[in-house]
Chain A
Amino acid sequence: MKKTTLTLMLLGQLAFAAGASAVQLFDFDAQAVMPAGTGSAAVVYGRIVNGSAVATPLPLDFAQFEYTIVVTGLIQDIDGVTSLFSGGTVSIFQDAATAADWATPSSFSDGTAVLTGTLSAFQRTMLTTTLGSGAGTVDWTGGTMLNLLAPADQAGWPFLTAVSRAASQVQPGYSERWDGKVEPQEEVVSTEQRSWSELKAGYR
């Protein structure tokens, strides 16, 4: 009990010390195959490219592994300047065996699924003939790292991406390049701001 109390106090101090929120996100560079029309599904294959530059919401080892993101089953319900989608699943894989290559889509979905979830309410708006922007919401529901996220931190992650249809940006066999991110609503940490009286009240 003494150790537990001390740990809580230290965590409390850490929370108080961390004044400004840090930036955490999964930054990805992806290629998408868009559906020919409504009722068909889009699929997206991308690399997580944070490296050591921007913190990820979960501890990823970019020195040892490659991380990829795959979206499947994203059904296009409405086609237009703004297209609406439903039903997508999103997965983040960790793999050290096979380098991801857009010529071989399966190279993005091998390895260990560290996070899996649903992508809902995705909409993509084309703002010029070749450029657009998309947004949806991810709820994480599975994967080997899911339990590293507190239940309150597992839902409602914005999925945000730039979209380019320019020929110079799109790989053979794909229809769009997506450069975007998945990020929590706020910094994911094991601590939260709480007064000492609130902390003590939690143990009475």
Chain B
Amino acid sequence: MTFRKYTALSVVVLLAGVMSMGAAGARAAEVDYVGYAWETGGIAASLPGDQLSIATVVTQIDPLFQVDLNGVEATLYIEGLTSQGSTVNPSTGATTTTYAGGTIAIYAGAARNHDWGVNPANGTVPATFTDGDLIFSGAFTGFAINLLASGLGVFEGSIDGTGGSALAGPCASCAYTFAGTFATPTGAQIPEGYDLQVDGVLSVESAVGVETMNWGSLKQLFNPGR
């Protein structure tokens, strides 16, 4: 069970609901974010050892995270992604860069102070993207970015959950993120010193134990001696 808010009672309720729908599988809790990325040495020629960081603000977040964006600002910050070097796909011309390490974290706080500024890291990055309460933290188990010369690109990463108020405890391979990336040739507004504009989604498995079972099996769970 990944999210704290689910008690045994709510699991029972969900089980009943799932049975009535005849469906199976946990619902993913999603976070929508927009922001900017930069890499030490520049991302156009990503060299092994370069560090990629991404500072974003959350525009939409699932109620499961118990964050009300009407009252607080939420930010999502990715750092410590270490480039393993790039390869070029000769058929598409796309450059693929893989990364090792890296962490992702969501913070929420009353201060609506996020400010990308220019030429990160700077006085407001990461400071205004890592303040507030830690809602979710994770460690990347894989991350890759694909970029086209046209400026279009996309990244995706798999994540182990490591902490934050929304998690009951660590969880392996329980989160995934993907995002479109847009460099200057696409017309995207990009503050000086950043390489890419980013618009993406983080999905965290709510991992509530939903499965299809009949009433007899459900009752048996609460009458183990019978």
Which residues of A are in contact with B by a Cβ distance under 8 Å? Answer: 20-21, 23-25, 27, 29, 49-54, 63, 81-82, 123, 125, 127-128, 131-135, 137, 156, 158, 160-164, 168-169, 179-181, 183-187
Contacts and interface: CB of A to CB of B under 8 A. Distances in A.
Contacts of B32: 27, 29, 49, 179
The 3 closest A-B pairs by CB, nearest first: A162-B180, A158-B187, A127-B146
Contacts of B156: 128, 131
Contact of A162 (B112, B148, B151, B178): B178
Contacts of B59: 27, 49-51, 53-54
12 contacts: A25-B189, A53-B59, A53-B74, A54-B57, A81-B91, A127-B148, A131-B146, A132-B154, A133-B154, A134-B180, A179-B32, A180-B180
Interface in B132-165: 146, 148, 150-154, 156
Interface stretch (B45-53, B79-87, B199-207): B199-207
Contact of B199 (A123, A162, A184, A187): A162
Interface in B46-76: 57-60, 69-70, 73-74
Interface residues of B, number: 41
A133 B117 CA distance: 26
Given A135-B182, A158-B188, 15 more contacts: A21-B191, A27-B59, A27-B199, A49-B32, A49-B59, A51-B59, A53-B69, A53-B74, A54-B34, A125-B150, A127-B92, A132-B154, A135-B187, A158-B187, A160-B197
Interface of B: 28, 32, 34, 57-60, 69-70, 73-74, 91-92, 94, 112, 116-118, 146, 148, 150-154, 156, 178-182, 186-189, 191, 197, 199-201, 203
Nearest to A81: B92
B226 to A, nearest CB: 39
Contacts of B153: 127, 133
Chain B binding site: helix, strand, loop or mixed by DSSP? strand
Given A53-B73, A81-B92, A168 B203 contact: yes
A183 B189 contact: yes
A160 B199 contact: yes
A162 B73 contact: no
Contacts of B182: 133, 135, 158, 160
Contacts of A53: 57-59, 69, 73-74
A173 B175 CA distance: 25
Nearest to A131: B154
B117 A125 contact: no
A17 to B, nearest CB: 16
A20 B117 contact: yes
A158 to B, nearest CB: 4
